[in-house]
Amino acid sequence: MIRSELDAAGIDDPRLRGSYRRCRELNAAHGRTFFLATRLLAPDQRPAVHALYGFARYADDILDDLDAQEGIESRARRLQELSDRFFAGEHLGDPVLAAVLHTAQRYAIATELFDDFLASMRMDLTITDYPDRESLNSYMRGSAEAIGLQVLPVLGTVTAVEDAAPYAAALGRAFQLTNFLRDVDEDLLRGRVYLPADELAAHGVDRDLLTWCHTKRRIVPRVREALAEQHEITRQTYRFAAAGIDMLAPRSRPCVAAAAALYSEILDRIEAGDFEVFSHRATVGRARRLQVAGLGLIRSWRARNGGSDTRSGAA
Residue-wise pLDDT for 20-67, tens only, equals 999 999 988 887 778 888 888 999 999 999 999 999 998 988 887 644
3-state SS class at 248: strand
In tens, the pLDDT along 234-252 reads 999 999 999 999 999 999 9
| Domains of the chain (ranges, CATH numbers) | 1-111 (1.10.600.10), 127-302 (1.10.600.10)
Q: Give yes or no for a contact between 247 and 167, defined as CB atoms under 8 angstroms apart.
A: yes
CA-wise closest residue to 29 among 67, 58, 64: 58
Q: What is the pLDDT of residues 282-307, one digit of tens each?
A: 988 878 877 776 776 677 767 777 65
Q: What is the pLDDT confidence band of residue 68, given thresholds at 50, 70 and 90?
A: low
- Given a cut of 70, whether residue 102 has pLDDT beyond it is yes
pTM score: 0.89
Q: What is the mean pLDDT of residues 95-114?
A: 97
Q: Write the DSSP symbol of residue 131.
A: S
Residue pLDDT, tens place only, 187-218: 999 899 999 999 999 999 999 999 999 999 99
Query: What is the pLDDT, as a whole number, of residue 304?
Result: 72
Place 311 in a pLDDT band, splitting at 50, 70 and 90: very low
| Rounded Cα distance, 200 and 181, in Å | 13
d(CA 258, CA 122): 31
Asked if the model's pLDDT at residue 231 lies above 50, the reply is yes
Q: Is the pLDDT of residue 308 over 50?
A: no
The whole-number pLDDT of residue 69 equals 62
Tell me, what's the pLDDT at 210? 98
> How far is Cα 133 from Cα 194, in angstroms, rounded to an integer?
10
Whole-Å CA distances, 76 to 112, 225, 242:
20, 37, 36
Percentage of residues in the chain having pLDDT higher than 90: 76
What pLDDT does residue 201 have? 98
Question: Percent of the chain, pLDDT > 70?
Answer: 94
Q: What is the mean pLDDT of residues 113-125?
A: 95
The string of pLDDT tens digits covering residues 72-95 is: 888 899 999 999 999 999 988 899
What is the three-class DSSP state of 167? helix
Positive or negative, the CA dihedral 140, 142, 144, 149 is: positive
Q: What confidence score (pLDDT) does residue 307 get?
A: 56
Over range 1-18, report the average pLDDT.
93
Mean pLDDT, rounded, of the chain: 91
Distance (Å, rounded) from C-alpha 36 to C-alpha 50? 12
Burial class of residue 166 (count of CB atoms within 10 Å of its CB; 0-12, 13-18, 19+): middle
pLDDT, mean of residues 169-179: 97
Q: What pLDDT is recorded for position 3? A: 87
Residues 6+ apart with CB under 8 A from 240: 167, 170
Residue 176 CA to residue 258 CA, distance in Å, equals 16
CB 283 within 8 A of CB 30: no
